[in-house]
A = this chain, B = another copy of it.
Amino acid sequence: MKPTDSTNLVCAVDLGGTNLRAATVDAGGTIHDRARLRTPPEADDVVAAITSTVNQCQAAAVKRGKEIQAISIVVPGSVHAETGLIVNAPNLPAIVNFPLGTTLSNRLNRPVLLENDANAAALGEFWQGAGRGSQTILCLTLGTGVGGGIILDGKLWRGLDGTAGEIGHMSVEPFGSVKCNCGNFGCLEVFASATAIVRMTREALSDHPGSSLQSIAADQLTAQAVSQAANDGDPIALEVFRRVGTYLGVAAANLVDILNPEAIVIGGGVSAAFDLFAPQMRAEIIERAFPVPAKRCRVLKAKCGDDAGLLGAARLAFDKNKQ
């Protein structure tokens, strides 16, 4: 396919732990057809579900006289650069070491790419979102965990094994007592994810019986509920988001000194509360990092929402075709 020919489409598939979403994307970054299914737990069923959504998108595209030329799949895990296998996928263990790429490529008779979800989201924001016009950005996806993606001089930085970009596992309290699922202590993820917001709120509530948050049943306490309470002025909720900003700022200051990027883009569900944590995050960067790179680096809210990964995956396929 010619990369600038808008009659050619990539079918991007975002394989999440819960849902599987497919969409056709053209070389200009516009999304056309969409399809969606629940993500099944077994690998063979995942292959069947992806095939089904791609075929749905293809049928819709054909009606408009278009054709899907390549498939690019966003996976919730690291893709090993040499083997093309998925190294770890805590939310979808069945696909670890399963030959997802080659199986799908044989089944769908088209080239298939795989990319880590946070890397794909970073590339999507770089291409069509908050990073547009920049060449070097870092992206953080604040959701159940904290994902990261690094774009240097316009290219995704994957590292030697394809595992780079795990900014969420930078330790911001390495000698603290909070252990991360990854085994390390004090990772950014345990202070800036939706899960962390709930945990920190619970911890704070035990000392504050008068908080408005006490009226929320324990199993209903979500990051969104804490964000709502903060917007309503609850001091505990405000303090939790200030702490999120502090930890994000510590990590960001480190990255500003080490990589001197143009921007840090914050996406994921928690970014809906951007205004509650970003001022503190920016203050920490100014306080901690060197003046020249600190002044350079903007902290931006992501713009592509749930489509960041789909767009980034599509971009990868278009880039691959240019090589």
Residues of chain A having any CB pair with chain B under 8 Å: 78, 80, 87-88, 136, 148, 150, 152, 157-167, 169-175, 182-185, 250, 253-255, 257-262, 287-290, 292-293, 296
Contacts and interface: CB of A to CB of B under 8 A. Distances in A.
Given A80-B292, A169-B290, A288-B184, A260 B174 contact: no
A160 B175 CA distance: 32
B170 A257 contact: yes
Nearest to A188: B254
Contacts of A166: 257-258, 290
Contacts of A290: 78, 88, 163, 166, 169, 182
Given A182-B290, A250-B174, A164 B259 contact: yes
A292 B161 contact: yes
Q: Which residue among A160, A166, A183 has the maximum number of chain B CB atoms within 10 Å of its CB? A: A160
Contacts of A258: 148, 150, 164-167, 170, 255
B163 A293 contact: yes
Given A166-B290, A171-B253, A173-B174, A261 B160 contact: yes
**5 closest A-B pairs (Cβ-Cβ)?**
A159-B260, A164-B260, A166-B257, A184-B288, A174-B250
Contact of A184 (B158, B163, B289, B296): B289
A171 B288 contact: yes
Given A87-B292, A184-B289, A288-B183, A163 B260 contact: yes
A253 B254 CA distance: 14
Contacts of A158: 260
A88 B290 CA distance: 10
Contacts of A175: 173
A159 B255 CA distance: 11
Contacts of A165: 258
A302 B187 CA distance: 30
A261 B80 CA distance: 14
